[in-house]
Amino acid sequence: MPANWPYVEIVRAGAQVLNGSDRSTREAHNVFALVMIAAANSSAGPPWWTVAPAGVLAVIALLTFIKVAREYTLDSKRKRTEHFWDVGTRLLDDPALAEIFGVLYTGGHLSSPPAVARRACLAQLETVALLTRSRLIRPAVAYYMLGKNARDIWGADAFWTDIPRDDWPLLKAFVDEANEYWSAPPDVRKLRL
């Protein structure tokens, strides 16, 4: 106990009583109660220079946490953007896929591209569905950018002449979700990568 504590004398008196002096047990309890009250009412805390380093460390820890959380958020946005651009370039760079999407946009017959190209197109769209389900691409962005294509392909019976639709359940779920998304006009102001 520090020597400059304001109630040192009360504590010494309490110790004397508890060490077997001639005072009664009741007096010992009274002195002990006074010591406890004095300790509870003591406003003397540790000096500011002993508390300041802990406060500085707490502020540094809080700022570090905020910086790490911000970096994590920016990194996740960067990764989502990379996934989206990778899928988009694969869809546009492959000439067979470009032909299928060209037939979609011009209203041509979707059975004209070879089955291998149609399967590659389905695989790419199912990759988009998987990335969407994994939250690597935001659902609203996927439905807005590729949902109509997936819906058109799913609904074109000529596209599925020699490909069983039952082999593409993830694409079916993506198309159902895209139909729900497109049931009302989308709010493009809310689209974010």
- Please report, in tens digits, the pLDDT of each residue of the chain (193 residues total): 455 555 555 556 556 655 655 556 566 566 666 666 666 665 566 666 777 888 889 999 999 999 999 999 888 888 878 877 887 777 778 887 888 877 777 777 766 678 888 888 898 899 889 888 988 888 888 888 888 889 988 988 888 888 999 999 999 999 999 999 988 888 877 777 6
The separation between CA 182 and the C-alpha centre of its own chain, rounded to angstroms, equals: 26
Question: Is the separation of the CB atoms in 56 and 19 below 8 Å?
Answer: no
Question: Is the separation of the CB atoms in 178 and 150 below 8 Å?
Answer: yes
**Residue 11: predicted pLDDT:** 57
**Residue 170: predicted pLDDT:** 93
Question: Is the separation of the CB atoms in 113 and 144 below 8 Å?
Answer: no
Domain ranges of the chain: 8-41, 51-190
The first and second tokens of residue 87, run together, are 């899928």
**Residue 10: predicted pLDDT:** 57
The first and second tokens of residue 36, run together, are 């406890």
d(CA 113, CA 181): 29
> If you count them, how many residues does the chain have?
193
d(CA 76, CA 4): 57
Number of Cβ atoms within 10 Å of the Cβ of 168: 21
**Percent of the chain predicted with pLDDT > 90:** 17
Candidates 89, 111, 110; CA nearest to 101 is 110
Candidates 44, 39, 46, 29; CA nearest to 7 is 39
d(CA 178, CA 151): 7
